[in-house]
Structures are given as structure tokens and as C-alpha cells.
Amino acid sequence: MAMPAAARVVLVCGLTGLGLVVLNQMTAPSLDPSLERASVLGSILSVLLLLVALLWQRVEPVAPERVPLQGREGLHLAPDLDAPLAEELGWGSTMLLTATPAAVVLLHWRGRVLLERGLLGSGAFQPGTICRRCTATGKAISLVDLKLYPGREEFAALPTGLPAVLVQPLGQEGVLVLGGWSPRCFSRSDLIWVDGWARRLTGELARVSAEEAPAGEVSSTAAPGTG
């Protein structure tokens, strides 16, 4: 909890005024009505200053310290991505790593990892219960302190000791996973930014998947008996 400098000044003035009023009362040779009225007014003003200082006070949460994660920084990108999609993934992952508290960005789409950037993990990531629930509900899941969640083994492929994880759905077929440097590190604005990029990315991935679909899959939608 922190108090702004201006609020501290007002608090000191209120305490000083209240103390002087009490001291004046105690040292006065006689308590005549005019002195009592002045003391009451002085006390009221001092108390008002104290109330202003208390109302001015803000609760400023201390940013949690970054956990010293082990791992090497790198970039793994699926080699068969087309140029526009690879450029989109490169730009988006760079922004997430620089503009948010993310230490690692991982994208899993249709059974394989298309992107892993930042601190690289030690194995192949496979979505589990948490990721499946995320895609089923279509809502992001923020694990603010990973060690408190029983399903944390799902993210064992990410850097060891990762304190926080954010799972963002990409439609029904993929997830965007962010690992944070510290517990409770992802803010409301971070969640909004990630959600916006995920929506754009889902459309781009769906477009690429449709272009790469075999011709047989497209023709199979024709009505039976034609031709």
C-alpha cells in the first residue's frame, strides 16, 4: 500500500494542526468560550484534512518479482508455413514478448506446434484438459499462479518453473499459450490485446487451411449422383 506525496503532506498538516489544538488547550491559562470555539473549529479543520488524506490514499499493488526462469531464447517456426502467415506470426509474437509480461509464446493448431518463441521448453507440447476446456468454451483461461493448479503437468513442455500461463482459444482447433515471467502478471489490457490478435490469427489460419485442403475434400461436398 502506497500513499502519494501530496496525500502525505495533507496528512502531516492535519496531524500537526490537531496536535497544536490539543497543545493550545492544555497550556491555556483559562478556557473561555472564544478559545473553546476556536479549538472546535481548529479540530474540525484538522479532522477534515485527515479525511482528505485518507480518501486520497490509493492502493498501488507492488509488481510481483520476475522468476529467474531457466532456458535459452529461440524461435521455432513450422517450415511449411506460407510467407504471409509466417510474417504474421513473427510480428505478433514479437509484440507479445515485448509489450506484455510474456516469457514464451506457443501456438498449437490442428495437432501440431506452428510457433514457439521466447524461452524454449524441453519437449513437444500437447494440449490437455485445460486447453480442451478453453477451446470448448471459447474463453481464455488465465492461470495466475501455475503451482496452485493440479493440471499444471499439461504445461510441462514449457520452461521449467513458469509461474503463470494464459491460454487463448483459436476457434475450436487451436490455442495460443503464453507463459508469464511472474505470478498474476497478465493485466486486463494484456488479455484484451491477446484476444484481439487471436481473432485475427484464427481467420488467417482458417484461410491457409482452406487453401491447403486437398481437392478431393472439396469435391466430396458435391451432391451424390452428380457427374
pLDDT band, residue 2 (cuts 50/70/90): low
pLDDT band, residue 62 (cuts 50/70/90): low
**pLDDT value at position 218?**
40
The mean of the pLDDT values for the chain is 83
Task: Report the 10 Å Cβ neighbour count for 59.
Answer: 7
In the chain, the number of structural domains is 2
Note if the pTM is more than 0.85: no
pLDDT band, residue 210 (cuts 50/70/90): confident
Same domain, yes or no: 137 and 35 = no
Distance CA(126)–CA(122), nearest Å, equals 13
Same domain, yes or no: 102 and 181 = yes
Range of the domain at 51: 5-56
Same domain, yes or no: 48 and 80 = no
Distance CA(139)–CA(23), nearest Å, equals 62
Q: Specify which of 67-76, 143-152, 165-174, 204-213 reaches the highest per-range mean pLDDT.
A: 165-174
